[in-house]
Structure 1
Amino acid sequence: MFNLPQALKRLVIGRAMRSEELGETLLPKRLALPIFASDPLSSVAYATGEILLVLTVGGTAFLYLTPWVAAGVVALMAVVVMSYRQVVHAYPSGGGSYEVVSRNLGANSGLVVAASLLVDYVMTVAVSVASGVDNIISAFGSLADYRVALAVGFVALLTAMNLRGVRESGRAFAAPTYLFIGGILLMVVTGLIRLAFGDNPQAPTAALGIAAVDGKDTLQGFGLLMLGLRAFASGCTALTGVEAISNGVPAFRAPKSRNAAATMAVMGIVAVVMFVGVTLLALTSHVHYVEDACQLTGLAGDCHTYTQQTVIAQLAATVFGGSDTLLFYFIQAVTALVLILAANTAFNGFPLLASILAQHRYLPRQMHTRGDRLAFSNGIIALAVVAGGLLWFYKADVTSLIHLYILGVFTSFTLSQIGMVRHWNRALAEERDPAVRAAAQRSRLINGLGAVTTALVLVIVLITKFTQGAWLAVVAALLLWLTMRGIRRHYDHVAEELSVEDVAAESSRPRQVHAVVLVSKLHKPTLRALGYAEAFRPDTVEAVTVDVEPEATADLRSAWEASGLEVSLRVLESPFREITKPVVTHVRELKEQWPGDAVAVFIPEYVVGRWWENLLHNQSALWLKSRLLFTPGVMVISVPWQLTSAKRADRPARKAPGAVRRGQ
């Protein structure tokens, strides 16, 4: 029989895969790069713009700080990449920052990292997709009114792709990522060649002035320092997603650690080259990019209706000769595509981390379950739902979302590097080989430098972004931390409660078993339930009905007496026409009467084959079961009666005449 929901599921995510096919999903480096590194690579598209947005609050007076801020971001990127290469080698099991911190700083610190990363993965999806939509709107301004719908639609598309499995999503995302890298490098090289030959192209906004916000062009001393630090904090969005490779080491082909470390090195080099090139072009072509378009002076029309082009869009138009050239549209297309696909870093990191947390009993166990395509589908869906909700709530506005970003990432950066320093201290205390000790000391130095620098950046980010919305990310991480601790307490309590100390006592049989068969009418399901109950050979059997309608109850009594059944029929009074309460009360009275005995309640149930048929039958059996299951010492046994529609639904589809099974 044709199953429409199942057919649609197979169309979206593909055929189900056997567990032993897991090895076929492991990634070579060429696919791992676009899967795990698309976020830090794509951040080139907005990191420079975020620096400019901050510095232009003072008009053009402070744009001279841009190279210094960019240099700080590049230095930090180098330190973080080198530090995480040590993590990849030391902890190849894939826990990344969470595993490092949990092992070296304790479970509570590990949960801080986990909560921070989970929140930041959600923000990665929201910011990347919103930024991608911005680039689409930069090329096609008429789509501005559909910003939210486009963003949510792209999240749904990414979800479907990732539900198909890691390897298939890697194939789909590899080409756009490599095209983006090639496109940006082509733009940077072309722009620098033109600059070298004395042809300095000017951005479309170069002729526009920038009005300072509330006289901030006169900032000096501490105020200027805070502005520079705020710009640096915004530029650090270039580092988001760097840790994803350390979380995803198990997804690499062997040798896993070496391949993951090599991929991380390539990612760092390419990201730095692109970021420096874009920032240099933005400065030489005098790109003007502001948070509020009304800061721009010299606009021909109303500033409230003016749609700013992104920094990448302005540079593409500048370098390639206008906004109507083929290369301009190529850059916009691959930038928008890779920004949207950059969310794939989170779609791989979030489910992996959630799976590890579920293994450690900090998240529901369903997060560790692999779906039909051997992906952690529950984690993928959870991420999509939360990120889609954020995009809808913030109207897919990058400026609003960016303030909630990167705080969690630097929390995990800092704690993981401190954890790695402790790891190397422990290793050095036990190691005597001079060569190994020298390598460990070098690694400790790298991680120590990483701990100091990322801690400073964390303080800067916290100070400069807290009041602008970062406090929401802090609150979300705190609530998630408390929730995970509560889940772990629940699982620990359940494990303790279910543990067996005395096997003989726990497996002892009840003295007697009393069977109760619920009856509404004397029909086939009732007789099957009676027969099934008697097959258990209980010590007592009674049939129970509830007197909701006196006439129907009288008819049942007459039919029961005429049937010659040996089982007695007990009628429970129900003055308020309830069914569940009288039955539950009667069963509890039996338990009180025979405290050391077991009571088995047999409930006959209809089984239908179509969803709408459930609406035509009352759900009293469901309510009864839900109440009786909370009564200690009571066993609830469903006795199904399959109606004709259920039998048809379960019948396997017929093979076509002459069809032969594969392999025959």
Structure 2
Amino acid sequence: MSKMTYVAKRLLVGRPFRSDKLGNTLLPKRIALPVFASDAMSSVAYAPQEVFATLAVAGVGAYVFAPWLAILVCVVMLVVVASYRQNVHAYPSGGGDYEVATTNLGPTAGLLVASALSVDYILTVAVSTASGVANIGSAVKVVGDHPVLFSIIIIALVATANLRGVRESGLAFAIPVYLFVVSMVVMIGTGIGRYVFGSEMRAETADFQIPVTHSLSGLALIFLLMRSFSSGSAALTGVEAISNGVPAFKKPKSKNAATTLALMGLIAVTMFGGLVFLAMVTNVHIVEQGGLLIGAPEGYYQKTLIAQVAQTVFSGFPIAFYVVSIATGLILILACNTAFNGFPVLASILAQDSYLPRQLRTRGDRLAFSNGIVFLAVIALILVIAFQANVTALIQLYIVGVFVSFTLSQAGMIKHWNRELAKTTDEKRRRQMRRSQTINAIGLTFTSVVLVIVLVTKFLAGAWIAILAMGILFATMKAIRRHYDRVSRELAADEDDMVLPSRIHGIVLVSKLHLPTMRALAYARAIRADTLEAVMVNVDPEETAKVAREWEDRQIPVSLKVIDSPFREITKPIIDYVRRVRKDSPRDLITVFIPEYVVGHWWEQLLHNQSALRLKTRLLFTPGIMVTSVPWQMSSTEAVQRRMRDVPMEVPLHQTGRKDLG
């Protein structure tokens, strides 16, 4: 790494942390709440809007069902929060739903949960960013006109902040999260106060009409209500993040995580219910993106539900409207931070279990899982660009994965309590376990019903894409595990592997008789091979004859073998010769010495060593062949050496196992 690159990296992510400083990065509850609960709290910024926008298909009259749907969503959220409090206490190691399902339902169920959660984390980044840009775009026109560009910038910034470490990103994001919570509480409190005292509040869309595209009744109406409920259930996303992030909490970890989870649930339910109430009393009319509002002026840009409510509640006080809009946009943007904290930990555990590439297992300079953060950002960027940052389109792919993990996790917890009850005789402890099991059973009932509703209502609308992605990821992780298992079996050492080879046959490749060749010959002689020879390919008869004469004049004590190459190839004749030697002496260890000269500039590298690179690549796939590069440093490498001496040494980080997560 050059000095310039090192300085740029340090400016971007900060100075490296020693591995023994991991404890200093643990989070108190006040910081853990914005880090892990921002997704769940921010879901109220778009989930109520999706309820109303979906009902709008049947006209404004269908809005009468919105409060009842909101109550159902709040009940499910409280049940899920209560259920996950049991998970946090039972499995505090950070494996979350994946560990619960794997331990109690088997590896296949665990891998299904891992696939679902991974897809959900990726979609969390895409949906929350796009929704945040849409909310800020309601107040700042330039943002609304370029949603894709601003979404890309935001994902890049959040990823960079997380590369600096969990604690630093938590401190940076705490203020916007608490600003959102306070602004929402003030808005809901003000709105309820104005309603109680009879103050008139009418949203700017209250007089606009929504065309009835479908006259629904019977089963069609039930389907619409189910679809609206499933869209509103997006408010539950992020609840599982705390159970995956228990190791990041300060001690007592489980207690602090459970407290944070309960606080998150109460805040989210309060804001969700309050928003739906205010949307009803202010007569907000909202349609899906691209829908028609009759009576709207030409070129009208539909504001989000929160923006309309804030504009109405704070009429005559525009500063408050801008504060709410910007705070909402920020919390939605920062909601993707939950995924940036959850996915890398999950990916690290999966990599430790050999289901993902092992590069995702290790921590980076700042004790964050850097490779997982970068991977998540890249995939989310692809999604945002592919769907043009359209919240309505992206949200159809959403929540399928999270409810799959909810359901399997609760099923696993019921089996967990059955196993614990069989081992416990203390009656007080058994009563506590029975209570926890009952809570998980209720959670299983609710989440499985919601999962069925989500699958039925969202499958054709885009959920099939998420299901397909889960299937592809599941198959990919199984294939990675099979690969690692096969490699492990092949590399397993036994006593016979310590037996020395009977003979060593050394081959020094020669192109010219220069300093790199002389060094390679000297090194090859130093290992005292049983047989040592030099091999040159005859592509230029004059040059070959010149080398042969000089070889003889210098009386080099190594025989020179010349291989004819009628088609002027270099690689193939050498490969064929080495294989013949291997075939004639199968018990011999063949060592090929390749002289190389090392240059200091990238453009010089393009001009040299291409034949050596091709040879090494081919020889690596030939059994029984050892390849030894003998470097000769050119004068241009001196500048590189000076730069390397000036660059501080990186702090080596050990490969982090699961125990390091806590």
| TM-score class normalised by the smaller sequence | over 0.9
The structural deviation recorded for 1:204 is 0.8
Q: Secondary structure at the match of 1:569?
A: strand
| Of 383, 388, 392, the match for 2:385 | 392
- For residues 290 and 357 of structure 2, the distance between their equivalents in structure 1, rounded to whole angstroms, comes to 46
1:565 corresponding residue in structure 2: 556
| Of 341, 344, 351, the match for 1:351 | 344
| Of 620, 624, 639, the match for 1:633 | 624
- For residues 437 and 313 of structure 1, the distance between their equivalents in structure 2, rounded to whole angstroms, comes to 50
From the superposition, tell whether residues 653 and 360 of structure 1 become closer, same or farther in structure 2 (CA, over 3 Å).
closer
Q: Secondary structure at the match of 1:43?
A: helix
Q: Secondary structure at the match of 2:203?
A: coil
CA offsets 1:27-58 (integer angstroms, 9 cap, x no match): 11111111111101111110100001100001
2:659 corresponding residue in structure 1: none
- For residues 39 and 185 of structure 2, the distance between their equivalents in structure 1, rounded to whole angstroms, comes to 17
Structure 2 spans left out of the alignment, 5+ residues: 647-662
From the superposition, tell whether residues 123 and 654 of structure 1 become closer, same or farther in structure 2 (CA, over 3 Å).
closer
CA offsets 1:126-184 (integer angstroms, 9 cap, x no match): 00000011012111223333211111111111111111111111111111000010111
Within 5 Å, which residues of 2 pair with 1:277-292?
A: 277-292=274-289
Q: Secondary structure at the match of 1:295?
A: coil
- For residues 142 and 91 of structure 1, the distance between their equivalents in structure 2, rounded to whole angstroms, comes to 46
2:54 corresponding residue in structure 1: 54
2:531 corresponding residue in structure 1: 540
Within 5 Å, which residues of 2 pair with 1:470-619?
A: 470-501=463-494, 503=495, 505-619=496-610
2:435 corresponding residue in structure 1: 442
Q: Secondary structure at the match of 1:204?
A: coil
Runs of 4+ in 1 over 3 A off after TM superposition: 142-145, 652-655
From the superposition, tell whether residues 432 and 333 of structure 1 become closer, same or farther in structure 2 (CA, over 3 Å).
same
Q: How many residues align?
A: 646
The structural deviation recorded for 1:609 is 2.2
| Residue type of the alignment partner of 1:454 | T
Q: Secondary structure at the match of 2:225?
A: helix
| Residue type of the alignment partner of 1:310 | T
The structural deviation recorded for 1:618 is 4.0
- For residues 283 and 262 of structure 2, the distance between their equivalents in structure 1, rounded to whole angstroms, comes to 32
1:231 corresponding residue in structure 2: 228
1:320 corresponding residue in structure 2: 314
2:305 corresponding residue in structure 1: 311
From the superposition, tell whether residues 610 and 3 of structure 1 become closer, same or farther in structure 2 (CA, over 3 Å).
farther
The structural deviation recorded for 1:604 is 1.3
- Retained in 2: the 8 A contact 1:141–1:307? no
- Retained in 1: the 8 A contact 2:102–2:108? yes
1:160 corresponding residue in structure 2: 160
Larger mean Cα displacement after TM superposition, 358-367 or 143-152:
143-152
- For residues 508 and 13 of structure 1, the distance between their equivalents in structure 2, rounded to whole angstroms, comes to 48
- Retained in 2: the 8 A contact 1:131–1:339? yes
Does 1:366 pair with 2:363? no
The structural deviation recorded for 1:59 is 1.1
Q: Secondary structure at the match of 1:541?
A: strand
| Residue type of the alignment partner of 1:319 | V
- For residues 442 and 307 of structure 1, the distance between their equivalents in structure 2, rounded to whole angstroms, comes to 51
1:116 corresponding residue in structure 2: 116
Larger mean Cα displacement after TM superposition, 132-141 or 358-367:
132-141
- For residues 518 and 306 of structure 1, the distance between their equivalents in structure 2, rounded to whole angstroms, comes to 75
Does 1:177 pair with 2:177? yes
The structural deviation recorded for 1:528 is 0.8
| Residue type of the alignment partner of 1:55 | L
Q: Secondary structure at the match of 2:546?
A: helix
- Retained in 1: the 8 A contact 2:105–2:412? yes
- Retained in 1: the 8 A contact 2:289–2:392? no
From the superposition, tell whether residues 653 and 528 of structure 1 become closer, same or farther in structure 2 (CA, over 3 Å).
closer
Q: Secondary structure at the match of 1:297?
A: coil
CA offsets 1:544-581 (integer angstroms, 9 cap, x no match): 12122222222222222222211111122222222211
CA RMSD of aligned residues (A): 1.4
Q: Secondary structure at the match of 1:126?
A: helix
- Retained in 2: the 8 A contact 1:94–1:248? yes
- Retained in 2: the 8 A contact 1:212–1:295? no
Q: Secondary structure at the match of 2:172?
A: helix
Q: Secondary structure at the match of 2:61?
A: coil
Q: Secondary structure at the match of 1:113?
A: helix
- Retained in 1: the 8 A contact 2:133–2:143? no
| Residue type of the alignment partner of 1:130 | A
The structural deviation recorded for 1:220 is 1.5
- For residues 328 and 145 of structure 1, the distance between their equivalents in structure 2, rounded to whole angstroms, comes to 20
- Retained in 1: the 8 A contact 2:243–2:257? yes
Q: Secondary structure at the match of 1:469?
A: helix
| Residue type of the alignment partner of 1:572 | I
The structural deviation recorded for 1:292 is 4.5
- Retained in 1: the 8 A contact 2:506–2:590? yes
2:240 corresponding residue in structure 1: 243
Within 5 Å, which residues of 2 pair with 1:58-137?
A: 58-137=58-137
Identity %: 56
1:658 corresponding residue in structure 2: none
- For residues 201 and 411 of structure 1, the distance between their equivalents in structure 2, rounded to whole angstroms, comes to 41
- For residues 278 and 252 of structure 1, the distance between their equivalents in structure 2, rounded to whole angstroms, comes to 31
1:620 corresponding residue in structure 2: 611
CA offsets 1:321-357 (integer angstroms, 9 cap, x no match): 16x8111111111111111111000001110000000
- For residues 623 and 419 of structure 2, the distance between their equivalents in structure 1, rounded to whole angstroms, comes to 51
Does 1:297 pair with 2:310? no
The structural deviation recorded for 1:652 is 5.7
| Of 447, 453, 460, the match for 1:454 | 447
- Retained in 1: the 8 A contact 2:3–2:643? no
- For residues 654 and 448 of structure 1, the distance between their equivalents in structure 2, rounded to whole angstroms, comes to 62
- For residues 562 and 305 of structure 2, the distance between their equivalents in structure 1, rounded to whole angstroms, comes to 79
1:662 corresponding residue in structure 2: none
Larger mean Cα displacement after TM superposition, 453-462 or 622-631:
622-631
The structural deviation recorded for 1:500 is 2.8
| Residue type of the alignment partner of 2:224 | L
Does 1:274 pair with 2:271? yes
The structural deviation recorded for 1:600 is 0.5
- For residues 280 and 239 of structure 1, the distance between their equivalents in structure 2, rounded to whole angstroms, comes to 19
- Retained in 2: the 8 A contact 1:518–1:603? yes
| Residue type of the alignment partner of 1:482 | A
1:23 corresponding residue in structure 2: 23
Structure 1 spans left out of the alignment, 5+ residues: 656-664
Q: Secondary structure at the match of 1:423?
A: helix
- For residues 405 and 222 of structure 1, the distance between their equivalents in structure 2, rounded to whole angstroms, comes to 24
- For residues 597 and 542 of structure 1, the distance between their equivalents in structure 2, rounded to whole angstroms, comes to 14
Q: Secondary structure at the match of 1:599?
A: strand
The structural deviation recorded for 1:643 is 1.6
The structural deviation recorded for 1:294 is 4.5
The structural deviation recorded for 1:585 is 1.0
| Residue type of the alignment partner of 1:430 | K
Larger mean Cα displacement after TM superposition, 560-569 or 130-139:
560-569
| Of 356, 375, 378, the match for 1:382 | 375
- For residues 310 and 50 of structure 2, the distance between their equivalents in structure 1, rounded to whole angstroms, comes to 18
Q: Secondary structure at the match of 2:632?
A: strand
| Residue type of the alignment partner of 1:285 | T
- Retained in 1: the 8 A contact 2:203–2:308? yes
From the superposition, tell whether residues 379 and 653 of structure 1 become closer, same or farther in structure 2 (CA, over 3 Å).
closer
- Retained in 2: the 8 A contact 1:572–1:582? yes
- Retained in 2: the 8 A contact 1:525–1:640? yes
